[in-house]
Amino acid sequence: MRLKGKVIVVTGTGSGIGKDIAERFAKEGARVVAASRRAATGQGVVDAIVAGGGQAIFVQTDVSSAKDVDALFDSAVRSYGRVDGLVNNAGVNFVCPFEECTPEAWDRVLNVDLRGTYLCCRRAILEMLKTGDGGSIINVASNHTVAAVKGSVPYDAAKWGMVGLSKSLGIEFASRNIRVNVLSPGLIHTQIWDDILDAAPSHEECLAHWKSNIPMHRVGTCEEISSAAVFMISDESPFMTGANLVIDGGMSSQLVTPDPYTSRKI
């Protein structure tokens, strides 16, 4: 078990990537502190982990609230005595033309995606400093940290901010054995992907469009992201800090969408 005995806080565990990370960490021997705004789904994930022989507790948490974040980490320490790791996965997506982006929408995205990351990092690092044993933090961003798409200004700003925050913390706490890294998934089969399909006039045309923009010609899986998360948070990556690991099937490396025709040799 690669995470045996480690106490790891994971936010946004109600579904998708966060759910899979929490379940995978528990299978690897971690004591998981799962956080989600939705009690029903979040508690259900923990119940399944415990039923399968794993160790986990659930704390209903709005990561944009300092009070909620304090309660989350207080519960972690009260239950398990320490904090060894953190995965900041909670976040909200946003797609809207910039001229329709209100200050309220901007605040909602930045408060959850960036302020929430800051609040959780702060408490995690304070707990890690108390034990003096170091720790590992993963901030889940997006391949939007490499390139952008139109209509995602608050989301892109928040995710780029997460990279800056992580790099700064990574170098500040490197000498105290606290590692901070970014995990940036591309298009993954989660509720967001289902929403994209449902918003398109045609599922088939939408799927063809996105496949043409992903060199591997498929959408990624939550399992592929959680596998990377295990490596990043474990003792297998001791020299890794301030890094941004992009897992997107080559999407952000492709300059343009492939030609829909066969060109002659040039």
Instruction: List all residues 6 or more positions away from 260 whose beta carbon is below 8 Å from its beta carbon.
Output: none
Mean predicted confidence (pLDDT) in 155-175: 98
- Answer positive or negative: Cα dihedral of 208, 223, 73, 135: negative
**H/E segment holding residue 231:** helix 222-233
Place of tokens 């299978």: 27
Task: Indicate the range of 43-52, 71-80, 88-97, 167-176 predicted with least confidence.
Answer: 88-97
**pLDDT band with cut points at 50, 70 and 90 for residue 107:** very high
Mean predicted confidence (pLDDT) in 125-133: 97
pTM, whole model, 2 decimals?
Answer: 0.95
- CA dist 22 and 2 (Å) reads 14
Q: Which CATH class is domain 7-185+221-246?
A: alpha beta
- 32 contacts 25 by C-beta, under 8 angstroms: yes
Exposure of 112 in the CB half-sphere (CA atoms within 13 A): 20
What does the mean pLDDT of the chain come to? 95
Tell me which DSSP letter residue 111 carries.
I
**pLDDT band with cut points at 50, 70 and 90 for residue 193:** confident
- CA dist 207 and 213 (Å) reads 10
Domain definitions of the chain by residue range: 7-185+221-246, 195-219
CA distances from 232 to 86, 119, 186 (A): 11, 21, 17
pLDDT of residue 126 exceeding 90: yes
Q: What is the DSSP string of 28-97?
A: TT-EEEEEES-HHHHHHHHHHHHHTT-EEEEEE--TT-HHHHHHHHHHHHHHHS---EEEE---------
Q: What are phi and psi of 173, to 5 degrees?
A: -110, 10
Active site residue 155: yes
Catalytic residue among 80, 118, 155, 261: 155
210-254 pLDDT tens trace:
888 999 999 999 999 999 999 999 999 999 999 999 999 999 999
Mean predicted confidence (pLDDT) in 116-133: 98
Mean predicted confidence (pLDDT) in 147-152: 91
218 — alpha (psi -120 to 50), left (phi > 0) or beta? beta
pLDDT of residue 133 exceeding 80: yes
pLDDT of residue 265 exceeding 80: no
